[in-house]
Homo-oligomer: A and B are copies of this chain.
Amino acid sequence: MFDLVVKGGLVYRNGKIEKADIGISEGIIREIREGINEDSKETIHANGKLVFPAFANVHTHVSMSLLRGIGSDLPLMDWLQKVIWPLEGEFVSPEFVKTGALLGILEMIKSGTTLFLDMYFFEDKVGEAVTEAGIRAGLGFGILDFPTKVARTPDEYIKRCEEMIVQFKGHSHLIPVISPHATYTCSPSTLRKSLELAEKYDVPIHIHLSETKSELERVKEEYGLTPIKHLENLGFLSERVIAAHVVWTDEEEREILKERKVNVVHCPESNLKLASGIAPIPDYIRRGIKVGIGTDGPASNDNLDILEEVSTMAKIHKGYSMDAKAIDARTALKISTENGFSMLGINAGIIDTGYEADIIIVNTDSPHFQPLYDPVAQFIYAGKSSDIETVICKGRVVMYKREIKTLDEEKIIREAKKWGEKIKNFMDKNLMLE
């Protein structure tokens, strides 16, 4: 007997669409074939609907949803220093992080995401929100050289981070991750200590890397090396490292990334919106560097809609490199599903027997899906997150027919609006936005 059977869908498997039923038990896909008639505790009818792996959003700061879109049309460094950091200094707290995470998770589930890799403060609160939602996350404990509400010194950050690792290591849905913020905010000593901790507990490292030109200049000035060469010099780089952005790289650095098996997270919309640039993703893929995709925080995006992000990614690299095959629809789908899950060591993001059942069901009744010729390309290029009807994480239905089953959407939105009022009042009094 199965726990759950998804019946009659058009299933994306091995690069093709086939009509099949999917039998799931204990969170694992056990069988895929037409005509599964065994008993099942739960059955979802997906006749005529598309069934894809769920998305993995492998770089975000989910709780920044409460700062959504603030400081639009500013470049990264101005945006951080004049707007975001003062607001975070005032507002970030366990309660802020929890409500922000819940709000962001609503959005992520509604756009088909069942795994995200976060980087922020009070990640235990993100963990609470994720657990309530029934999805998964990498909890990236942010480490900085300067004091915040979390800690005063690098050593104290490392200590708190270790406590979080011990708390969550081995959890079914949560993966503790060490997140030194970047090479321009963490000293070599802090980076070394982060690495030691990661090796001690065998957990991933998540870091911002080569995001902007000004970052390159700053790090070069301080250490005489670009961020990537600086990290290489410190012995920091390995397949344990999940590096976000990686916009500015030269030939030698790309070979280092390839050699060290560093994972790259592309954040196309954030890089565009903050005017950071356009990362050479097709080149990374050609070299065999593993690439995933992230929305980045909703303060700079301004949403957590991963399907929109994937569609932007697939289009922008064609236009920028003037190669219509730069990233095709199937590659875009792989980047946003199996690559993301595998970076965090999760056996999901592929619909096949033996994989964990992270699955979305897509309704194709809308005008923008007619006629349906190539379901994969049309999902990526014409589809919208509002077409995603049902979301399953590790065998559990977390959204059914657009209704989130695990969270109280209205209550979370009410809470978010309250935070919005407080933050607006503060900005009116204290911030000089142009």
Q: How many copies does the complex hold?
A: 2
Q: Are B381 and A273 in contact (CB under 8 A)?
A: yes
Indicate with 1 or 0, residue by residue over A412-434, a CB within 8 angstroms of chain B CB atoms. 11001101110110010000000
Nearest Cβ on chain B to A39's Cβ, whole angstroms: 35
Chain B residues with CB below 8 A from A69, complex form: 373-374, 377-378, 381-382
Task: Give A residues with C-beta under 8 Å from B.
Answer: 65-66, 68-70, 72-76, 78-79, 103-104, 106-107, 110, 213, 269, 271-278, 298, 301-305, 308, 311-312, 315-316, 318-326, 328-329, 365-368, 370-374, 377-378, 381-382, 384-386, 409, 412-413, 416-417, 419-421, 423-424, 427
Nearest Cβ on chain B to A285's Cβ, whole angstroms: 14
Nearest Cβ on chain B to A378's Cβ, whole angstroms: 5
Q: Are A275 and B420 in contact (CB under 8 A)?
A: no
Most B Cβ at <10 Å: residue of A305, A308, A409, A419: A308
Nearest Cβ on chain B to A97's Cβ, whole angstroms: 15
CB-nearest residue of chain B to A376: B72
Chain B residues with CB below 8 A from A385, complex form: 384
Q: Are A305 and B107 in contact (CB under 8 A)?
A: no
Q: Are A68 and B277 in contact (CB under 8 A)?
A: no
CB-nearest residue of chain B to A326: B275
Chain B residues with CB below 8 A from A374, complex form: 69-70, 72
Q: Are B273 and A413 in contact (CB under 8 A)?
A: no
Contacting residue for A278 out of B107, B269, B319, B384, CB 8 A: B319
Contacting residue for A370 out of B75, B274, B316, B420, CB 8 A: B420
Chain B residues with CB below 8 A from A278, complex form: 319-320
Q: Are B275 and A419 in contact (CB under 8 A)?
A: no
Q: Are A368 and B424 in contact (CB under 8 A)?
A: no
